[in-house]
Structure 1
Amino acid sequence: MQIWTAIWNFFQYQILGMKWLDGLIQTGLSALGLDTNSRWIGSLQFFLYDVIKITVLLCFLIFVISYLQSYFPPERSKRILGRFHGIWANCISALLGTVTPFCSCSSIPLFIGFTSAGLPVGVTFSFLISSPMVDLGSLLLLVSIFGAKVAILYVVVGLIVAVIGGTLIEKLHMEKYVESFILTAGSVDIELPDLKKKDRILYAKEQMLTTFKKVFPYILIGVGIGAVIHNWIPEEWVAAVLGSKNPFGVLLATLVGVPIYADIFGTIPIAEALFYKGAQLGSILSFMMAVTTLSLPSIIMLRKAVKPKLLALFVVICTVGIIIVGYVFNALQTFII
C-alpha cells in the first residue's frame, strides 16, 4: 500500500504538479543572484512556474481531448444523444460536455446546433452547463493542486448540477422560450467520412493551437493575479473574506466570479493562490464555477438564442447550484483534504 501511495504522490506532485520545475526555477533565480525570499522575486517564481506548468499541461490535455473529440463531431453527437430519453439523455449530454475543452462562449454555438437539430431543450442545457464547468483537462489540473478526491468530487457535483438543471428546464417545458429562428432552423444530416489516424492527429494539433492562442492571455492574467495574491495579500485578509469565519464567503465568491470572463485554465492559478492563503475550498470552487459558467459575455450570447424568462431560469439554476456546491465542499473540506 505504501508503494502505491508513493507512486501516486510522485504522479500528483512531480508529473501533474511539476514540483521539480518549481525547484528548478528557484535554483535558476538564485544562480542569478536574486533573493527568492523577497516578494518581487517570489512573485516572479510563482508566475514563471505556473505559466510553464499550465501551458505544458494545457497543450498536452487539449491535444488528447481533441483527438478523442474527433470521434464525436456534432452530427454524430446528435445521433448519440437522440438514442436516449428522459434523465439518461441529460446524463449523456452532461458527460458529452466533459470532452469539449471550451469556455462557455464557445459552447453556445454547439448548444444552438443541438437545439436546432431537434434535441430536447433540457438535454441541450445539460450540455451547456457541464461543458464550461467540467472537462477532463480541469480534472487533471485540479488533481495537481487539490488532490484526486477534490478533483473527482468537483467533476461529479458539476455533472449533477448539469443533469438537475437540464431536467428541471425540461420538466418546466421551457422550449417555448427558445427563439423561433433556432427551433425552425432544422439540420441537415451529412455523412461524415471516417478520418484516418493522421487526420485526427492533425485535427488535434489544430485544436490545441487554436485553443491555446485563445486561452493563453487569460492564463497570463490568472497567473498574474495569483502571484499577487500569493505574495502580496496578507493571509488574514483572504481568511477574513473567504475563510471559515465568514459564512457568506460562498455567496461573495459566486457574485464576484459572475462578471469575470475566463475559462477554468485561467481561474485555477487564482484558486491555487487563494487556497494557500486560507480561503475555504467551497468558496474557491464556487468562484471557479461562476467564472466558467456564468460569465457576462456568455450570457449576452445566450440571450440571442433564448428569451429572457429561460435565460433568467438558467442563471438562477446555475447560481443556486454553485452556491449549494460551495457550502457542501466547505462542510467536507476537512474530510477530503
Structure 2
Amino acid sequence: MFDWIQHIADWLVYSVFNLNTNQHLAKALNFFIYDSIKILILLFVVIFFMGIVNSYFPIDKVRSYLSKNKLYGLEYLLASLFGVVTPFCSCSSVPLFIGFVRGGIPLGVTFAFLITSPLVNEVAVGLFIGLFGVKTTLIYVISGVLLGTISGIILQKLKLERFLTPWVKTVLADAQREQDLFQEEKLSLKQRLPIIWAEVLKILKGIIPYVLVGIAIGGLMHGYISEGFFERYMDKDNLFAVPIVTILAVPMYSNASGILPVVQVLVHKGIPLGTAIAFMMGVVGLSLPEAMLLKKVMTFKLIATFFGVVTLCIILSGYVFNIIL
C-alpha cells in the first residue's frame, strides 16, 4: 500500500542525495523519509476520519456504556483483534490511539489495540508461516492477541487516566464541546467539515514535532545499530537471556516484516525460538520512537508504566515459548 512512498524515499536518498546503499546514513535517512511521509498521512487520515465519526456518535454515551456494562474482558479482546487487522508498526498505531482516546474509549481498551497492532498482522503471519510453520504461527498469533488483551486489562485496573497530559484533556474537552454543538444544531456533514478540519489542524500542529523526533531516533537506530549486536546475550544456556534481550530490544524500532528475517537467522544459529521471538516482540511492540510520539499524550509515568507492563508480559511469553516449542 505504501510502495510509492518507498520509491520516493529511494529516489531522494540514492539519486538526489547520491548516497551509497551500504552507508549507515543512507539507511537512516531512507527510513526517516519513508516513515515520516507514511505516518503523517496516517495521522491526517485517521484524525480526520475519527473527527467525522465522533461528530455523529455521542462520546458521553459511548464512554458511559463501556464503563457501566460488564463485558467480562470482551472489549479488550475485540480491541486486540482489531489490532490484528490493522497492519501498522508501533509508531503508526499512535494516530489511532489518539483517535480512540478522543472518542472516549477507555484507556485500557485503547492500549490493547496499541499493543497488538504492530505485533500481529497479515504480513507477519504470512512470513511466520513461511519461516517457522503453521504450529508456531498459531501459537504466536494467539500469544500476541492475549498479550494485548491481558496487558490492556492490567493497565485499565491501574486507573492511569490521570496521567494523560493536559493537551489530551484539552482535546477531549474540545471534542465533547464539538459533539454537543453538532447534536444541538443538527448540522449537516458539509457544515461540520470546517469545524472538523480546524480541529485536525490543531491536533497535527501539536503532535508533528514529536512525530518527527521519534522517527529520526528510529532512523538512527535502524541505520547504525548492527543486528549482530544482541547475539552475545541470546545464548541458550543463559537463564536470563529472555529478559536481557527484551529490555535491550525495546529502544530499537522496526516492523514485523523487517525483523522476522533476523529472527530466522538467530534461530538457525541456535538461539532458542522463544528468546528470538521475545526479542522480536520487544523491537516491534515497543520502541523509543513510539515513546517520543506518546510523550505528547502521556506523562512520563504513564509511558513508563505502559512499557513496564508490556515488557513484563513479553518476557513471560518468551519463557512460555521456550517451554512449549
Residue in 2 that maps onto 1:319: 311
User: 1:203 — aligned with what?
Assistant: none
Residue 286 of structure 2 aligns with which residue? 294
| Cα displacement (A) at 1:255 | 2.2
Matched, 1:258 2:243: no
Residue pairs, 1:93-172, within 5 angstroms: 93-172=79-158
Q: Secondary structure at the match of 1:185?
A: helix
| Structure 1 residue 185 corresponds to structure 2 residue 171 | yes
- How far, CA to CA, are the matches of 1:225 and 1:271 in structure 2? 14
In structure 2, the partner of 1:276 is 268
Alignment of 1:22-41 (within 5 A): none
Looking at structure 1, the residues matched to 162 and 268 of structure 2 have their Cα atoms a distance apart, in angstroms, of 47
Question: Which SS does the other structure have where 1:105 is aligned?
Answer: coil
Instruction: Give 1:249 deviation, angstroms.
Output: 1.6
The letter of the residue matching 2:119 is: M
- Residues 309-333 of structure 1, C-alpha deviations (whole Å, 9 max, x = no match): 2111101111100100000000111
Give the ranges of 4+ consecutive aligned residues of structure 1 lying more than 4 Å apart after TM superposition.
73-79, 81-86, 188-192
1:90 paired to 2:82: no
Matches within 5 A, 1:230-269: 241-269=233-261
Q: CA deviation at 1:180?
A: 2.6
* Residue identity opposite 2:115 in structure 1: I
Change (3 A) 1:180 1:305: same
Q: Does the aligned pair in 1 maintain the 2:83–2:120 contact within 8 Å?
A: yes
Give the distance between the partners of 1:182 and 1:297, measured in 2 at CA. 19
What is the distance in 1 between the residues matched to 2:127 and 2:83? 17
Aligned counterpart, 2:296: 304
Distance of 1:242 and 1:307 partners within structure 2 = 33
3-state SS, counterpart of residue 171 of structure 2: coil
Distance 1:266 1:120, change over 3 A: same
Match of 2:14 in 1: none
Q: Which amino acid aligns with 1:276?
A: H
Shift of 1:124: 0.7
Please report the TM-score for the alignment, with normalisation by the length of structure 1. 0.60
Q: Which amino acid aligns with 1:272?
A: Q
Tell me, yes or no, if the aligned pair for 1:115 and 1:183 is still in contact at 8 Å: no
Taking the aligned partners of 1:102 and 1:92, their CA distance within structure 2 comes to 17
What does residue range 50-69 of structure 1 map to in structure 2 within 5 Å?
A: none
Amino acid aligned to 1:102: F
Letter in 1 for 2:273: L
Superposed, which structure 2 residues align to 1:219-230 within 5 Å? none
Most deviating of 246-255 and 103-112 = 246-255
Matches of 2:156 and 2:246, distance apart in 1: 25
Looking at structure 1, the residues matched to 53 and 81 of structure 2 have their Cα atoms a distance apart, in angstroms, of 15
Distance in 2 between residues matched to 1:76 and 1:92, nearest whole Å:
19
Distance in 2 between residues matched to 1:258 and 1:312, nearest whole Å:
12
Q: Say how many residue pairs are matched.
A: 229
CA RMSD of superposed structures (Å): 3.4
Structure 2: how far apart are the matches of 1:95 and 1:273? 29
8 Å CA contact retained: 1:253, 1:287: yes
TM-score (norm 2): 0.62
